[in-house]
Structure 1
Amino acid sequence: MTATISNFDYGPITPIAAYVMATTGAALGLRCTTRSLRRPHHRARWLALGAVSFGCGIWAMHFIAMVGFDVEGAAIRYDRDQTLLSLVVVIVCVAAGMFLVGYRGRSPLTLMTAGIITGNGVVTMHGLGMNAIKIDGSLHYDGRIVIFSFVFTIVIATAALWAAVSLHALWTSIGASLIMGVAVTGMHYIGMTALSIQLTGRTTIDESTSNLGFLMVMLAGPLAVLLIATTIVMFDPDMLIGDGDQDGAAPTPRGSDSAHPVR
């Protein structure tokens, strides 16, 4: 029996909250990358913080959106280990992409390589997160939508990495984060349209089988990381400094195609 699926079981609350998480992660990733370029002696630390923040933002976006995911007539459960593995994968892949552009610059080859690595990480995270679902039925995907979502994700990841090493003014990075939030959240919901579920039987649903409690526990850690990272960035002296007012011109990352200093 083909199940009736809803991605908006709580109305607009979950997509809005998911968008906020994606935007927050993107904003922190951009601002931390700016710090890393202005302060090369602490570059690795800032890139690591940015990667963890961006990765947690993407992961939190996915699983907050999944709070609104419901299958009529079936109980949804999640495998804890696969859920945690999806978080590790996205952070590692985002870190690989950010460190690559942070140290090698924004040449087309570097951006393309970093974008593919990061995009693959996001797609793998989504796949692991969906594979973690335990339901009395089988999940099936429309291959055309999956391919489109995969390509779209790589484009988003490449654009995000380009913005990270190219947009350094506060307001331009905020604007880029708002756009990236739409793109990343949209990517999730586009990918979810590929899903169909064949139920093997009808399940009695009660509070004990609800996925809400499990997801809230899983989200607590990444949300705490985003809060800590936001505090670090907000209280950094550079937060409201204009173009190069404090630290002057930072060196351009090796391999960058930009001749002008980072501002």
Structure 2
Amino acid sequence: MDTPMIVESSHNVILVALSFLVAVFGSFTSLQLMRGIRTDDGKSKIGWILGAACALGGGAIWTMHFIGMIAYESSMEVGYDPLLTFASLAIAIAVVAAGIFMLSKNPKSIPILLIAGVITGLGVASMHYAGMEAMIMAADMSYDTTLFSLSIVIAVVAATAALWLAFNLEGGWQMFGASILMGVAVCGMHYTGMASMTMTMNHEVIAIESSIEPLTLGLFIFCFSMMLLVLSLIVTLSQLQKRMYEELEDDDDDERIDTIKPQTA
């Protein structure tokens, strides 16, 4: 009976660093977008929620996850199932949007925070493992139960903390510090999940189409995501500044009216 051969693997340090950077910047962008949610009760609130979900779920979480997947290096050629890969992206954005929407209804409610955190965290974990199942290679995948469970706990705790921070932070430096912590948490969940995985060769013949080098693909995804996040951040800050000026003008108008009324009485 043949002894199963474990696939030796490592990670590309450059891509790991890029995955952390995009996780931090995506988190910072999402926190800025969520400032709009807290101050908007109109129809545009849904737009803020979707924008924040795309920045956090798509930018900070999924992009970090996919670059982290590309950073995985082994002696075997690896491909990715496009359907499962894009499904994992949709899951990430959907569960983050659901969590933000739930908490936006009552930001001070601890029970709602916990429920939203669990739903979002389990969704993020589902995204992660769906993305890992998208890997195409001549090997069978198995997981260490302890590390697998730990990764899910990290996902739930990180999601709950992220939602709480989103509705309770104001200062720029606070948001920057929180973004670093969120980036560490997102990367911690991903690489804990990766550490739980063991690949065992199955000697199947799998046709994998030749593709771009992992480092090149990772750099492209990183630059493209960062460009979208920067544009989102610019638009967000300009909209928040515009709203601030409008509120100041409204306050000035109210003061003028209050000053004129006694004189005309």
TM-score by length of 2: 0.82
Alpha-carbon spacing, 1:215–1:151, altered in 2? closer, same or farther (3 Å): same
1:207 Cα deviation after fit? 8.9
Alpha-carbon spacing, 1:223–1:66, altered in 2? closer, same or farther (3 Å): same
1:51 aligned partner, one-letter code? A
1:43-80: CA deviation from partner (whole Å, max 9, x where unpaired): 221111111111112100011112210122x1101000
1:175-211: CA deviation from partner (whole Å, max 9, x where unpaired): 1111111111121111111011101239899992566
1:134-154: CA deviation from partner (whole Å, max 9, x where unpaired): 100101100111111101110
Question: Retained in 2: the 8 A contact 1:56–1:226?
Answer: no
Aligned partner of 2:147 in structure 1 is: 145
Aligned partner of 2:23 in structure 1 is: 22
Alpha-carbon spacing, 1:215–1:203, altered in 2? closer, same or farther (3 Å): farther
Q: In terms of mean alpha carbon deviation, does 184-193 or 200-209 score higher?
A: 200-209
Matches within 5 A, 1:63-78: 63-72=66-75, 74-78=76-80
Alpha-carbon spacing, 1:218–1:171, altered in 2? closer, same or farther (3 Å): closer
Aligned partner of 1:190 in structure 2 is: 192
Aligned partner of 1:112 in structure 2 is: 114
1:216 Cα deviation after fit? 6.7
The runs of 5 or more residues in structure 1 that have no matched partner are 249-263
Of 230, 234, 254 in structure 2, the residue corresponding to residue 231 of structure 1 is 234
1:78-101: CA deviation from partner (whole Å, max 9, x where unpaired): 000100000000100000001111
Q: How many residues are aligned here? A: 243
> Is 1:168 aligned with 2:170?
yes
Greater helix fraction, Structure 1 or Structure 2: 2
1:16 Cα deviation after fit? 1.5
Identity %: 31
Question: Retained in 1: the 8 A contact 2:30–2:56?
Answer: yes
Please, what is the CA RMSD of the aligned residues? 3.0
Aligned partner of 1:31 in structure 2 is: 32
Alpha-carbon spacing, 1:223–1:205, altered in 2? closer, same or farther (3 Å): farther
1:235 Cα deviation after fit? 2.8
Question: Retained in 1: the 8 A contact 2:34–2:49?
Answer: yes
